[in-house]
Structure 1
């Protein structure tokens, strides 16, 4: 299952040793993230801190290039506008790199590639994509995401229900307001675990998306972050993080 949900993980750099000269001099980076998307980013109910894979990736990068990450929980539907207005130095929030987004924003190199999937109720685990394409079955997704665009491409806008965040989409699935939720496979697996016995990753092998860290167009900080990212790929840190969150089976 893991191999279906995570199309490619660390995108490991070549093994040749490299020198990393980038140094951000302890700069505090204000980082926008929509912490409603486990395991990429979520709020720890005990500590109130934002935690997750993306957080660990940024922490590891900052260790390499001498920066201090300051994560700010922000609703997805306004996160890119806030970046453009200078409220953040960058955004890391499970963001797919797309040609449309690259027209107005700059991206780091990809740090992971994920394959989209469809969550189903366990009782409907035998549903297929053809069932949704036939009409009468609703797919849910978060508005403004590549998941939502893929859902519309697959089954038509009339068969797609959009929600402000994936937590609301998951609730709609549990309440049978929709019959499936299209979501990155890595997060689908997390929800399957959280709601074991109720929800299952029923349809896999859909579109694969590279994820990147987002910057304002022309921001030179991307070069330093790319150096840090290359370093954590080269020394195995990124692979270890992927293994910690999703295993290697």
Structure 2
């Protein structure tokens, strides 16, 4: 886990720049799946949406004079809802891919993680080669880069995709599958939640840069890039990485 966190700390990719952008106090709605702690989730005690993505967006808004209201939205419809104007941007641990860039705009990456495989404790030590040789099944949330990584790793026939990430974890616990491909940024939270039962057995399958998502051509993305550069430059982003992913 230390290796993963070191990679996060040194591979946040933004360019330093003075902040000139001012959104004039604009109130922005932010779509988020809110099912992937510590990136974003709903606090059961307060009902509020909390997490790393929430704090990053709020820190950027503090630099460029805007406020953010997070809106829970299912992953399957999140990009369509953005295009339809239901909110102004998406912050939901979204991987930047060439295919997605054809229809939407991304900020510069605010964090780079490595995808990993969550597995049962008794299977710890298995490698991807073991999965392929033994015909073991991987699962992932459908229509995500995790699902694509899983298919690349063990072949499409050995991947079962579920509508939600939680369904993938349930399948793993029920022994319907043998591993779940997960964004490395979320892996520690699930190890803690299922301590003694599930463990991250394989790390850093692929590098995965994450960005905030806007409608194609939205000039607000430039302001967010300036704010992102500012929170990198003043150390605020590093502090948030430490808060959510640091070793205690």
Report 1:22-33 matches (<5 A): 22-33=21-32
TM-superposed CA distance for 1:135, in Å, is 4.8
- C-alpha separation in 2, matches of 1:239 and 1:7: 12
* TM-score with structure 2 setting the length: 0.95
Alignment-derived partner of residue 11 in structure 1: 12
Closer/same/farther in 2, CA of residues 13 and 76 from structure 1, 3 Å limit: closer
- Kept in 2, the 8 Å contact 1:41–1:52? The answer is yes
What runs of 5+ residues in structure 2 fail to find an aligned partner? Answer: none
- C-alpha separation in 1, matches of 2:41 and 2:177: 24
- C-alpha separation in 2, matches of 1:165 and 1:176: 17
Closer/same/farther in 2, CA of residues 181 and 224 from structure 1, 3 Å limit: same
- C-alpha separation in 1, matches of 2:115 and 2:6: 9
Report 1:156-167 matches (<5 A): 156-167=155-166
* TM-score with structure 1 setting the length: 0.95
- Kept in 2, the 8 Å contact 1:6–1:113? The answer is no
Q: Deviations over 1:18-63 (max 9, x none)?
A: 4312111111101100001111011100111111100010011111
- C-alpha separation in 1, matches of 2:33 and 2:6: 21
- C-alpha separation in 2, matches of 1:41 and 1:191: 13
Report 1:60-75 matches (<5 A): 60-75=59-74
What is the SS of the residue equivalent to 1:58? helix
What is the SS of the residue equivalent to 1:47? coil
Closer/same/farther in 2, CA of residues 102 and 19 from structure 1, 3 Å limit: same
Closer/same/farther in 2, CA of residues 231 and 128 from structure 1, 3 Å limit: same
Equivalenced residue count is 247
TM-superposed CA distance for 1:161, in Å, is 0.9
